Structure 1
């Protein structure tokens, strides 16, 4: 039996997603010949912030998923929450570019906040012995 299967799958997805976000930053850097910093480029700033925002939020999500799973309180719902988070982060990444995908930023941000809050509440309830 694999320990922490949801955490492992979520961490793998997060690693691939971070790589994708990094490649998107690199594509703009190459196109604009900007090696260091953002060169005042709005498009590069947007892509850099999309990746940074992912890096800022994902450790908390993964830690909460792992803690809930270690406590034996995971299950099918936890996989769905992890998947929703990853999909939201893809939408956020595209949404940060603006244009037709601009709505993805709002949806990605909202889902991220709801996932963080939901996981934190579940973890607190598990820790308090209520769940």
Structure 2
């Protein structure tokens, strides 16, 4: 049974909805209904949102499998914190104007760490 991963999934879902609201706001400001209208603010909002959509589900799936295989709760929480911190830092760093490049970079390092450590843990636990 999953008891830890849903917490991180819920928190990342809240981040995702917030990023979605930023896209909607940028669309309204730029009066762009479809596409990006070559609006730089909208493009940035869309890519920030898309980046979360591209990485978070895969990481959460791996973390859920680690938890389902009976990994210690400390490991599951560590993985959840890695992906949550990574996604928050990336969204903030990339979404700012100008970008806070170091936060964007740290966010991606944490995201990749969550994915790679989760993948390794899944292999170890499954074998």
What's the TM-score once normalised by structure 2's chain length? 0.90
Corresponding residue of 1:106: 105
State the distance in 1 between where 2:94 and 2:32 align: 19
Q: How far apart, CA to CA, are the structure 1 residues paired with 2:4 and 2:47?
A: 27
For 1:48-77, what per-residue CA distance to the aligned partner results, in whole angstroms no more than 9, with x for missing partners? 111111111112111111111111113123
Q: Is the 8 A contact 1:47 1:93 kept in 2?
A: no
Aligned CA RMSD, in angstroms, stands at 1.5
State the TM-score, normalized to the length of structure 1. Answer: 0.87
Q: Which residue of 1 is the match for residue 85 of structure 2? A: 87
1:65 equivalent in structure 2: 63
SS of residue paired to 1:96: helix
- Measured after TM superposition, the shift of residue 124 of structure 1 is 0.9
Q: How many residues align?
A: 126
Q: Deviations over 1:8-62 (max 9, x none)?
A: 1122112111101101111211111111111112221121111111111112111
**Gap runs ≥5 in structure 1:** none
Q: Which runs of 5 or more residues in structure 2 are unaligned?
A: none
CA distance in 1 between partners of 2:99 and 2:12 (Å): 25
